[in-house]
Structure 1
Amino acid sequence: TRVRLTAEGGAGVSEWFHAFRHAQGYEVWGQHGAWITAQQPAFGPGLKERFAWASTITEEQRAEAEATRARVRERLQEVLGDDGVLLMPTTPGPAPIKGLPSKELEAFRFKALQLTCPAGLGGAPQVTLPVAKVEDAPVGLSLLGPRGADEWLLEMAGAIGGVAEGGVAPLQPSGVGH
C-alpha cells in the first residue's frame, strides 16, 4: 500500500528534517557545549561547523522542534498502528565513496537525514538492510516500525534479510502485536 507519511496540507519531511536538526543540535549542545567551550577540541570538517551551529539554537527553536516531534509521533502512530512497517530507502542513493569532498558528503548527509529523521523524531525503531550494490557501494532498505516494537522489527528485518539472501524465512515474524 502506498502511504503519504506527512499529513495532508503539512509542510512535509522538510519541516521534519529541520525540526530534527534543531532538536538534535539543542540536545547535543546542552550535553557537550560547556566542555567544547572550555576545552576547544580540534574537530574534523563538518563536525566543527555543526557544533558551532548547534550553539546558536534558541529555546524558541527547540520548542518549535518539540511541537513538530509530537506531530510526527502522532502521524507515525496513525500510519503504522501497532503492527505496520514502512519500507523506504535508507539513503538517497548508494553509500558515498571514501574520499568524497566535504561539500558533497554534507549534501548527501542532509538528504539521508530527511529519510531517517522520522524515526528519530517519532521515537520509532528503524533498521536498515543492505539489499543491493551499485558500483560496489551498498544500497540499503529501511524498515520503520511502531514505537516500542524494536524487537519485533528486528525479527521482521531478519525474516526479510533471510529472504533477500536467498534463504527461506517466514515473512510473518512471531509476536505480531508485540
Structure 2
Amino acid sequence: MHSNANHSQQTEQPLDQIIRQQMHAISALNDSHLKQVLNYSKGFLDKVFPLSAGSHQDVRSYVVYYQHLLAFFADGSNSGLANPTQFVALCGSKEKPQSILLCNAGRHIELVISKQGEHGSHDSAGIEDVLLELSAAGQPQRWFSMIRGQLQQDASTSCQSRACYRAKDGGDYHLA
C-alpha cells in the first residue's frame, strides 16, 4: 500500500506542474488580450478625441487644469485635446480624476481611471475602462464597455451610476 501511495504522489507532482504551466499560459494570453483591447481603445480615443500633440497610447496621467484636460507623458511634457470643448466633466479631484467625461456629436465617452484596478493596474495611464454612451437623448442610459466588450450592467466602477459628474466649470453635470 505504501508503494501505491508513492506512485500516486509521483503522478500528482507532474500534474500540479502541468496545471501551473497552463494557468501561467492562460494568464499571459489574458494579459496580451487586455493590452490589445487597451491599445484599440486608445486608438479610438486618438481618432475621436485627438490630443493637440502626442497619442493617448503614450499618456501616463490625465489632469484637469482649470477647465482643460491635460495628458502628461513620460518625459514630463503634456498636451491638451485638439478640441478642448470635448472635455465636459469629471469625477474625483482635478489632480487625480476617477473618471473623465468627453463628448463628441452629443455622445459621451467616460474614461474610468483606477491605477489599482483590475485593468488600470496594467495600463500606464491607469485606464480601467472606456465606456461609450449608446442611448440617445430622452432614452434610458445605456453604456458599452470597450474593455470588457459588453453592455455595462453594473456601473459601480464609474460615475454614471452615481450622477456625480462635475462640469469643467465646477457646476453639476447631468447627462441628457
Query: TM tier, shorter chain?
Result: under 0.3
TM-score (norm 1): 0.25
Larger Rg: 2
Per residue, is there more strand in 1 or in 2? 2
User: Higher RCO, 1 or 2 (CA under 8 Å, sep at least 6)?
Assistant: 1
